[in-house]
Amino acid sequence: MGQESSTPVDESTPPETLSARTLDAVASYIREGHAKKIVLMTGAGLSTAAGIPDFRSPETGLYANLARLNLPYPEAVFDISYFRTNPLPFYTLAHELYPGEYSPTISHCFIRLLSDKGLLLKLFTQNIDCLERAAGVPADRIIEAHGSFARQRCIECQSPYPDDLMKQAISRRKVPRCCHNGCNGLVKPDIVFFGEALPEAFHLNRMLPGAADLAIIIGTSLTVQPFASLPSYCSEGVPRLLLNLTRVGGLGSRADDVLVLGDIDAGVRRLASAIGWLEELEALFESCNPSQLKKRDELNHKSHDDMLNDEVAKITEDIDNSLQISEQYSKALQEDLSLPERESTQSAMSKDRTVSQSGRTAGVPTSPKDDQDVPTLSDTREKDDADRDHDASIVTDEKPQPGESAAGKATL
């Protein structure tokens, strides 16, 4: 146990326990009562449908979005040494992840349903969001391998810190300090940081998958040890079901491994439907998400005409918003495009005024048509006194030709 091949099992190899390597075969195995001690192992993918980002996705993951915290490296937010010197980035992040901001997914509720039916031996989770607890999974059935926000303590004297004060500090983005006997040490949730040991409960239960008759692995990359080795502790012949976006670890290398790749919540619903639990699961999901239930009740109490009017109003609002944005964009674009033209006109007018003033200084007669061409100073000096007034009169009576500005320069 603990190590196994990563080579996929040959398709011609028959399963030892299941009737087939399919989701329906796993559902039959549960429905027929063969699975009475189910172990679950879950990761961040379990909670992404709740709106919580996972850690390692290149563009949407938590680590990829921590640049705004000015960290020396993304993982520093969970580094105990860095926390001791600068705890503020962690508490900025904690404000967004703290329990109460998110609701359990259908997959969390499925784990609760297994517990309610007495089939859950243990849930091992890497998640720190406490959504399993929010779904109603009993605390004694959960091993939070990387800790969670459920408890907190001083990192110096290890004294517990009150839940209400912790919630208050996080809501205000403040760094809590120990209030026990004037300690004043930094307080942090019982989340396992880099440089800290895993909880004792994990080590005491690490071999428990060996007693399971079914393992379900959901939403994990299985890259972080020692959690990643948990599936390998399952006995040979015990079915292992993976619900994940991709194949991970050594799963798929045994004859009774079943891989259901794709959307996790969709896979859970398929499993529940095949067992015959879907209606019960959806009811449980609604009870864990009052907002969803309220929305459904509102829809049920609305007539067809009311819903149609709401939809028309929404479409109208969307169109109005789009038009407003388009108008604002067009106005800004027009201003941007007209700016060079205004600057060119202003420059030309300035040059005109300079020429006009020069003409006055040299004694060149001016007329109300100062915006039109006038002779330059050098021109007037070349003419004799008798012809000067006559020439200036001719020039000031001329009109600009198409393609010329008042200053006699091409504008196009």
- In this structure, the number of other CB atoms found within 10 A of the CB of residue 403 comes to 9
Mean pLDDT, the chain, rounded, equals 78
Question: Which residue, 247, 244, 271, is CA-closest to 38?
Answer: 271
Selected residue with higher pLDDT from 79 and 397? 79
Which pLDDT belongs to residue 21?
97
pTM higher than the cut 0.85: no
Positions marked active-site? 146
Q: 360 vs 272, which has greater pLDDT? A: 272
Taking only the tens place, the pLDDT of each residue in 176-222 is: 999 888 899 999 999 999 888 999 999 999 999 999 999 999 999 99
Start-end of H helices in 158-301: 163-171, 200-205, 264-275, 278-288, 290-301
HSE-CB of 341 using CA atoms within 13 angstroms: 7
**Mean pLDDT computed over 24-46:** 97
pLDDT of residue 362: 42
In terms of Cβ atoms closer than 10 Å to its own Cβ (0-12, 13-18, 19+), residue 305 is: exposed
Output the pLDDT for position 133. Answer: 94
> Could you tell me which residue, 328 or 15, shows the higher pLDDT?
15
